[in-house]
Structure 1
Amino acid sequence: MSKFDWNHALAFWTTVEEGSLSAAARKLGLTQPTLSRQVAALEQSLGVTLFERLGKSLMLTEAGLDLIEHVRAMGAAAETVRLAASGQTQSIEGRVTISASDGFAAYVLPDIVHRIREAAPQITLEIVASNAFSDLRRREADIAIRHVRPDQPDLIGRLIKESEAHLYAAQSWVEQNGMPRHPADLARAGFIGLGGGARLAGHLQSRGLPVTEASFILASENSVVVWEMVKRGLGISFQMHEIAARTPGIVRLLPQIEPFPVPIWLVTHRELRTSRRIRTVFDLLAEALILTPQAALRDGADQSRTSP
């Protein structure tokens, strides 16, 4: 076997990750013929075929499947070396990318970002608002706010606190429909769901609510859209306390119902914490997230004297 060339392995790895030669070439800043030659050179040096070419599509062969895991490990090791080296030379200036769910990014992060900007104005913040997990290992984000514990060995997570989700409606909805006193009072109420109604109905039934899939009169995959519809009195939904407490005109319903636990984790790549700017933002995020929202949220007990 001839001398191993990392550039050839990188061309192979990127092609697998991007799904096509053209996309991989764009990512690496190469022409497609150059990238193809590098992949072919790797195949020749190893004496194996890595891809089956089916028309315009590529499919990994058995040899390719075996090799890609080793190449991924090599790439992760190379990235670890780069991050460790850059972390020792980086100043506190620069860009830090924070990933969070769309609702958390829209309603909670702006206040926190303001605090971070006051404490570290030289750092540029980029917010990735997505309900899908950002891949921290591929640097889609530097820090992620998640509601589940990370399970990848090269990620570290810090449980900031255990939050809760409760049932909420707009004050205008209460004025029109009355304040519910018991779960049975919501048998004919309209709910607004994040995603499909069947799964959410099961969660609500576990809390003793007489809810079926038909109870969900509105739904969206975007939690900002769901919450905006709740704010306009179009229905009822569960929401995190941190978001509801920042929303004027929102009432907590049936406070006797057991809330849903919502853990808040801060997650980053293990090696990224050697970067001063990322460590600074991580610590400022943790400090801000621990604080209880200052806004007081009225619940059903408070509303009993004024509700129709």
Structure 2
Amino acid sequence: MSRKPPELPATGLSDIEWDDLRYFLNLAREKSLSGTARKLGTTQPTMSRRLELFEKKLGAVLFQRKPSGLELTDTGRQILDHAARMEEAALAAQRIATGSSAGITGTVRLTSAEWIGARVLSPLLAEFCTMHPGMSVEFVTDAEALSLTRREVDIAVRFVRFQQEGLVQRKIGSLPFGLYASPGYLEARGFPDFKQGGADVALIAMNAALAETVAETKWLRQHFPNAHIAFRSNSRDGQAAAAANGAGLACLPQCLARAYPALRAIATATPIPSRDVWLGFHRDTRAIPRVRSVVDFLAERMPHLS
């Protein structure tokens, strides 16, 4: 007589619908109940109830509720990867069904540091949107790196190589730097004497926490070891504004300095190190037309902006 196999405990997994995952994905991206409710055209209480029901179905907590917003738990991050792939499969099926797969449509979320986002990438992305009217680009400039592996963004632009597993990266450019000061500063102090170690020089530099990791700041300290650091900022635009108003000498990306007409370039004894620009995206998205189109466009256009 054969034994009947033991029954597994009911988890409610069979009751999960695509809408459950769609709401979950939007919550993970918006990080707030109210923001997701506005995006999906519903109410915050409805979003809260849907999240509670989904967590009950799974038997797991997906988000931690914090003052700063919703933060994915370890379980939530694991489910996010699978849900994102399901979303892409659903969208691909929809494109085929509607005959829209021949065009490039949809939304791509991209992140970078503030200054390069405003000064370099935004004009390029505006051109891209004009070329592809079916596309929508959501651009997030951030102080802390958003995660590609957790699908917080589709594409990231950074000044260092990406270290996470599962990512594809491309060097898309190299930004030259220059030494700059205002006419008022140069009139008051004169051009710097590189042979004197900068005893009479006021410098503008990165915050102390970043100073040892930024090549151009190291260059400044090497050539002006006796200089006074008059102003520090982790904002490139902040440094440029301080230099334009006479605070001191600043090493700045040339494309940023051009946005400040008051700045004057200063010839240097040795070249200032340039900064490589890296673009990264998750390997699972490399075949997605909307992501690939943005990647290829930026890789083609960025090298021409130095």
- The percentage of aligned residue pairs carrying the same residue is 26
1:283 aligned onto 2:296: yes
Deviates more, 1:125-134 or 1:261-270: 125-134
Aligned Cα RMSD in Å? Answer: 4.6
**Where does the alignment leave 5 or more consecutive residues of structure 1 unmatched?**
294-308
Which of 252, 265, 268 does residue 239 from structure 1 map onto?
Answer: 252
2:115 aligns with 103
Which of 229, 250, 254 does residue 242 from structure 2 map onto?
Answer: 229
1:299 aligns with none
CA distance in 2, matches of 1:276, 1:44: 36
With normalisation by structure 1, the TM-score equals 0.66
The one-letter amino acid of 1:225's match is: G
With normalisation by structure 2, the TM-score equals 0.66
Query: Is the partner of 1:91 in helix, strand or coil?
Result: coil
Query: How many residues get paired?
Result: 284
Question: Residues 120-170 of structure 1: CA distance to partner in whole angstroms, max 9, x if unpaired?
Answer: 374767573624335556776554432122334454221123434343223
1:255 aligned onto 2:269: yes
The one-letter amino acid of 1:77's match is: R
Query: Contact 1:167 / 1:239 at 8 angstroms: preserved in 2?
Result: yes
1:72 aligns with 80
Deviates more, 1:259-268 or 1:273-282: 273-282
Taking CA–CA contacts closer than 8 Å with sequence separation of 6 or more, which of the two structures ends up with the larger relative contact order?
A: 1
Query: Contact 2:61 / 2:76 at 8 angstroms: preserved in 1?
Result: no
Query: Contact 1:13 / 1:71 at 8 angstroms: preserved in 2?
Result: no
Query: Is the partner of 2:187 in helix, strand or coil?
Result: helix
Which of 173, 196, 201 does residue 189 from structure 1 map onto?
Answer: 201
Query: Contact 1:102 / 1:130 at 8 angstroms: preserved in 2?
Result: yes
Query: Contact 1:180 / 1:254 at 8 angstroms: preserved in 2?
Result: no
The one-letter amino acid of 1:207's match is: Q
2:3 aligns with none
Query: Contact 2:21 / 2:83 at 8 angstroms: preserved in 1?
Result: no
CA distance in 2, matches of 1:57, 1:106: 25
**Where does the alignment leave 5 or more consecutive residues of structure 2 unmatched?**
1-9
2:187 aligns with 175
CA distance in 1, matches of 2:23, 2:31: 12
CA distance in 2, matches of 1:30, 1:153: 37
CA distance change for structure 1 residues 21 and 255 in 2, over 3 Å: closer, same or farther?
Answer: same
